[in-house]
Chain A
């Protein structure tokens, strides 16, 4: 009897200690904190490497180079939290940008050309969604197929030539609002909106539930299919927007626009602590990871590293990031 009581007591104590775990401790084991620390380290190391590194204007301008990927990565984070994945956004960007550029080069008025691009993005998102949700195929393989297909179609449309964009449409990255380039502003707004949706709305919480346990979510009345369908449509449209933004930044469109972007997007989500098997992850993490990547690549450019070495670094970072998040989550089983 006494033994039992003692046992109970220790259990209560344990419970108390876990409940009373100090705030800083909880904060420390969150994967975003890791990202944040790495960001700080990156900035410190970068500024030691070169005095030009701490130029805020330069960093903001470098950010516009990956802003499109970062925006798509925010939505990709939602998709991964919901337990699916989409590897096709970069190809989607290329195809919708090609359609958009082709239309406006053929003399279609700009608003309609943009509409064509967005509609194409939506259609591509819907295609992925139908394959994954209606036909219940694994999203990872479906989106590898569409990754090749969309870029292949872009190649069919554009050939090996590049399509020029009308002059006045060029240069979204040169528009400054209070000294901040427009793509960065769009990224900030998108992060805030998606972060609020994910944390403050029922819809957002349901995304987490679907990713944690889809069967349970469906049994508790969550329309998991509709929500996932919506997420695929959203990432389709957002990729199209990003594609058109890239077209405006580059001034011309080729089929290889955003080639290899899927690596960067998945990398941003993983570095931000999104759990690859779904159910965990935050917009804040991806937001920080996007900046971290900019700091890393700016640092590498400042340090005069070859682009090829940067590719290697990105590959290594991806592997290290998933190992680290998996490790953190396995230590903090909820």
Chain B
């Protein structure tokens, strides 16, 4: 069991308050950043740490920071993406709710590095109770002089505000988030220009995920090199994993990147195995947008080597036999869970959340939902529908301004690739479909090629 960097003090009573957070060493990174380091030195440590964006894309954070344009006389902004809406993902909510000062400290230290004097935390509106917690914590930080004018007497000024969203998955896409923060519909922008050049109010802006920003705190405290010692290869540090679905112990776990998937799924320290003594059918390991993998390909790659909880290992085999670490939204399907029904709920999700700007996504996601509905709900699917689904998905992929289209298409392709026989079963057994209650199969559909693990 590795050292916890983000959740170390999770169970300390009162850790939500500034006082207890300070007693546990909180805000040290701000002191270090302002008194002992130059902004460039902080960026350098983040680069050395190998930290990759924890929202899902996994882009190196230090590199993203180094792209920030610094024209004279123009404000620069740091915006935290707390619009966490990727199905299966709830780690940011957990962190903000339990240890709000971890994010606020990260926001201050990161703002120092980027030379931002105003920063926003954009939180999805559904999390209003979290917004209340953050607002309270920010008020504490202002009162104690960690925010506002002349922080720690260094002449550095920073204002930090929470911004509430209002229910739109698309606002997790960084340019849509900026549009929303400007008081508009969350329509993603054409890129370039990237936010690093023209972001919020057309000013240079960095947008980072909650967990990414919180990870800057231990990186500054311990140094980038030390942080990089945790993990395997280009997957450094610790990662919060949201574990859900048919497992014994759903919850948020901080893992060292590099433990085996098997350990994560079966050990009592984490998921505690499949619930109700059932077998493992499949898993979506990185949030709903990443490909679903059958159990045997989750635990081992196609060469039979144990898969690790890292960016590289989970994507080993590409989309043919692998998946992605994504946001770390790890949800598990037991033997009774219907893959086509699950896909129907996801297609419905993407259709609902498409912003409507690009025809392939706006129309295509609707097609996907309707075809799946007639197959899994109405029992009126045709065999040709299975290929039609794959075809529609293919026509969305790569043809849209933002990655929502790809995110809607990938799960379709993967579900059909690995579980085509289940779709065929729905088509061939229309009378059985009517008997299925709430998308739970009474008995598993046998897989023609492999046993469940």
**Chain A partners chain B:** no
